[in-house]
Structure 1
């Protein structure tokens, strides 16, 4: 049964309280970070940086921000007072809160607010950055995050201007958050009314037959329309995988730009177009034929770079897009099928320009394996605890909530005892945990989406070389790194010198410095010991506090000409400067820290043994899949592929053995070949009914 708004509010409040306690942060910070993470994950905003500025007088307020590459600025403000009961947010309160946020922006530009603020305060850095970028800010998104529910008297929030900049107003109240989490796709659908936005529908041609077939259309999309949609909705328009791809590439396609500027009339001929999905469409018959007037939850699954390039070329080069049209293939996919079908459409549509590592779907074998480890590996019970627990890896958005949705209250309590909420981590969490320890702190400071894009490229490449690298030891080490990461957040927050700003930056560089100190001694942190203890020992905590203090002093003193500390932390020079001080920092650490390090040789031996074990496990898993397929089906596959002439002599020999199961049993190596034959059959259009379900995990 679906939760009521009140039930959701109380569950969400308990989630915030436990999260704030576990991470050692203020409840306001936990609220902002939690809601912002949801918005980043679904593409509503590209990133989020905490930044509290609330002077006692002056009617000015800001709680967070994000600048994106298109010249858009997202400014966040919180309506949060740790209320015990769900309350209503009135129109008067709403307008007053937005007014305070607007005044912060106006004061930053018009009154040079940064001059009056402490140089090391987050408010100073943001105000200075706004002043410095004033000429390049094209649009302003004012976003209110509220723990209350918006009054029904507020029907709409019209767009306007703040300090001469076009501004939009968005409210994410508890009801809107509840709707997003409750939706099957775990994101707010993007509903577009083409007739209202552009004065007409989009010309289209039906590409489906019969009432039972899924709907599909070929559309002729004016480039101006597509660029306008991207300018208005940004990353929300792109399916998550495509967002990741663009984060990894980050540049306008030169060939597309050249065609727009020099041969616009040939764009339709030269460009492959756009592939998109929707949950529902509305059509009308016009004089010119069928037109699509409305689309529910439009998502571009291929052609993200085309879309972004059209927008940027129109904006930066003042290009005229009026003569350019883009072909769009639109598939209408029911929300119940979207999780399985949309990634496949994206995968197959992208085969011409392989995204490879950045094409990092939630059902990529790496994520499936990490999920499998998280569901079967028990974490050792902490000293004094009576039971073991597990760490829940959420490879697909909303899995943790979905796993509990159909459980009884008693079953939910058992689930949470087995998988405590503080022991849930996501793909973007994993990317942070791993990248800071592997000398990539700058990536972490670029924001969760760009950091994940870099991690995806790295892991995708390593998976292709050797999937055995990602084994039980890798999982346990990743969890231990996560424990250290979260402990560092708590430790930094508790320091006397911490003024409430730049915690994410301090945490990333602190852990990177610890890794560098150990590496210079040919040693490493003993993550297996942390996993076994399920906590960070006091000696490591002391070392973290010591390093964090130095890191804080260093990053809050950027070189001349750089005024914004957060921006400084995103530069390679920041890491290079701190890295050069690692020997000096190491000299100040207690000898107990070094006594607990393990040699790299010892760690490499552990990794080698884990890879061997994983290889054996993979072989056993391959045998289980092969032996579960009847010999008669192997015979059918053999005949079909022989007719097509695509089998090698080795494959034919191994298939002869498979056709004699159970009289003959293929070896592990032969089973690996047989799984490749199944995939070859799929690519040739030969899929045996009895083997379809094995392909999902092959």
Structure 2
């Protein structure tokens, strides 16, 4: 067997065992947490809710997730904490999937009735209650073994009107995903296999060898079918996926589809898309695209989703509707830098607060810079300081070690311990749960990040000085609180293996709520300095979590699933009404020594002041890197085209004399704005 795969298996196993011990969870739950995180980050699923159920009648389920568009993901795992890498056979795959299918069918027809106090009760009831709305069920098998080379793919099937798909993620597939250095497993769309023919196109990059581009008039039936099949993965790079609820249908688009389908092409702006690779053939009707690798809709997500939803909900006929598509073929190595720009420039009708709120947004760059520079104090008894590694782009933590020797990797992990690595979606979770948004956190990683991105984008536009070292240290303190609470909830005698994510989110939000009501705040700097939660705070969190568990696991009449209840605003509202009662249960020692917001004000002011200086230095450095010829060219063209103000012209004359004259911080900010203005005016700068 492949030695690299063997090594990956053992490393993966050790990571999983360490996580299980650190979080006081069962090994099976820890395994599913690890693999579901991979699936969420790669865009295959939106979220994951742990729900382990095994019945003597050949039924099993280990997790699930309902999305907003009638799809249900059901998970089953092949896991026995094996010490060596083994093979998963075709027969075993069939047997494992059969148990999951049995569970789904029994839930669908109402013959399965688990105890009302168990986590699986809510899932079973939801499947039965949503029977008419479920259009697709996706069965996921995750395994610690490697799939046999003789395995033959399981074809899609149906349960009445419900389409069923089967997906296997074995240890080899997880290894391939991780070794791709952060690049997701791309979509491979074969139009001939899916639709029986290719798509007519017109090359639009004539005279340029920089990249391929095409103009396409795509049938709405094909676009809706692609969305039906790939959903979130198809829109993964589209910033609108983050900033809007995908299930919402644009009323204007819907009206056109239903009432004036023949005018859709005239009324709609069309879509902008990218792909890594396309295959074309010459046909009797002209050039056709027959295959695309990693099609991504970066603008027009609402158009695509609205076509699908109007077809499904209103039974609309899309056969006479066509959509214009601008397709750019971007190499995978350049996609991280170029795709966000395409998305930003294509979305000009709605100046998104963070149109490029991808990994290269200045906020993420700054957070990553803090994480590489700021040493965290050693924990009590620890021999040395460490750092927290912020992974602004997926796979960076592993990528940083890719070319290191064994000794260098050991030093790297000592400086950046694996438990101290956190991602963009982790950060969004840590922050939103403490900023009075617990419901958002329960919507799943991607939707929670969507709301965090929008919120931080607005704040960044107002001023970036607040995102400073104090902000970073507070974020790490919140991470410590979050992960400590996860482990504590798992160890509680009342914890029955379900809804931990919901309980943790509301426990921490309640901790913030009750302290704020007394004019206090949680001791973030104390947690940062200790890199741990003290016993008094841990006891308080234990009490709060017990009360939260009792509250949220008893949803109102008519709601059977706790996870669905946790996503509703009413859940938080009802819990807030209990805040004073819960506060009275906490020990007096908890309140002693808690800081007020004013106590931390001096630290905030100092951090903001330092950040302001750093910002000025950074933007001056960027301005100094611009060739003087560029400033002269912009001044000349701007004067001719009359888009510069007198003040901007004067500052450009200063920039022409760098380094004899040095622009101030404020002038440098204006110069950065002039560069953007010149780009929008279409000015081509000299080489």
Counterpart of 2:197?
Answer: 200
> Which string of whole-angstrom CA distances, capped at 9 and with x for unpartnered residues, describes residues 458-502 of structure 1?
111111112111111111101110100000000000111111111
Cα pair distance change 1:229/1:627, threshold 3 Å: closer
Matched, 1:483 2:480: yes
Distance in 2, matches of 1:358 and 1:315, equals 30
How far has the Cα of 1:118 moved from its partner?
2.3
SS in 2 for 1:681: helix
Give the structure 2 partner of residue 693 of structure 1.
none
Deviations 1:250-294 (A, max 9, x none): 411111111110111111111111111111111111111111111
Q: Deviations over 1:375-397 (max 9, x none)?
A: 11111122222221111111111
Give 1:26's aligned residue. 26
Distance 2:233 2:452 in 1: 21
> Please, which moves more after superposition, 358-367 or 464-473?
358-367
Asked whether the 8 Å contact 1:184–1:336 carries over to 2, the reply is no
Gaps of 5+ in 2: none
The question of whether the paired residues in 2 share the 8 Å contact of 1:43 and 1:240 is answered with no
For 2:76, what is the secondary structure of its paired residue? strand
Name 2:541's counterpart in structure 1: 544
Cross-structure match for 2:648:
651
1:279 equivalent in structure 2: 276
SS in 2 for 1:11: helix
Which region of structure 1 is more displaced relative to structure 2, 635-644 or 229-238? Answer: 635-644
Length, aligned pairs only: 686
Please report how far the alpha carbon of residue 29 of structure 1 lies from its aligned counterpart in structure 2 after TM superposition.
Answer: 1.4
Number of the residue aligned with 2:44: 44
Cα 1:246/1:291, change in 2 over 3 Å: farther
Alignment of 1:283-682 (within 5 A): 283-357=280-354, 360-629=357-626, 631=628, 634-682=631-679
Partner of 1:75: 74
1-side partners of 2:634 and 2:562: how far apart? 61
TM-superposed CA distance for 1:440, in Å, is 0.8
The 2-side partners of 1:86 and 1:689 are apart by 58
Higher mean C-alpha deviation, range 277-286 or range 428-437 = 277-286
Q: Equivalences for 1:192-271 in 2 at 5 Å?
A: 192-209=189-206, 212-242=209-239, 244-245=241-242, 247-248=244-245, 250-271=247-268
Task: Report deviation, 1:686.
Answer: 4.0
Describe the superposition over 1:37-66 as per-residue Cα deviations: whole angstroms up to 9, x where unpaired: 2222222112111111013x2211000111
CA positional deviation for 1:629 = 4.6
For normalisation by structure 2, the TM-score amounts to: 0.96
RMSD across aligned positions (CA): 1.9
Q: Is the 8 A contact 1:237 1:299 kept in 2?
A: yes
Which residue number in structure 1 is paired with residue 94 of structure 2? 95
Q: Cα 1:326–1:143, aligned 2, differ >3 Å: closer, same or farther?
A: same
Q: Which moved more, 1:46-55 or 1:248-257?
A: 248-257
In structure 2, the residue matched to 1:694 is: none
1:480/1:625 CA distance change after superposition, 3 Å: same
Could you tell me which residue of structure 2 aligns to residue 696 of structure 1? none
2:25 is equivalent to residue 8 of structure 1: no
DSSP-derived class of the 2:345 partner: helix
> CA, structure 1 residues 50+689, in 2 after alignment: closer, same or farther (shift >3 Å)?
farther
SS of alignment partner, residue 301 of structure 1:
strand
Q: Does structure 2 retain, via aligned residues, the 8 Å contact 1:280–1:332?
A: yes
Q: Which moved more, 1:83-92 or 1:678-687?
A: 678-687
Q: How far did 1:159 drift?
A: 1.3
Which residue is equivalent to 2:17? Answer: 17
CA offset at residue 344 of structure 1?
1.3
* In 2: Cα distance, 1:414 partner to 1:181 partner: 21
Q: Take 2:504 and 2:678, find their aligned partners in 1: how far apart are those partners?
A: 49
Give the Cα–Cα distance (whole angstroms) in 2 for the partners of residues 149 and 333 of structure 1. 33
* Cα distance change on mapping 1:225 and 1:639 into 2, 3 Å: same
Supply the distance in 2 between the matched residues of 1:394 and 1:483 (Cα, whole angstroms). 17
Deviates more, 1:105-114 or 1:479-488: 105-114
Residue segments in structure 1 that go unaligned for 5+ positions in a row: 691-698
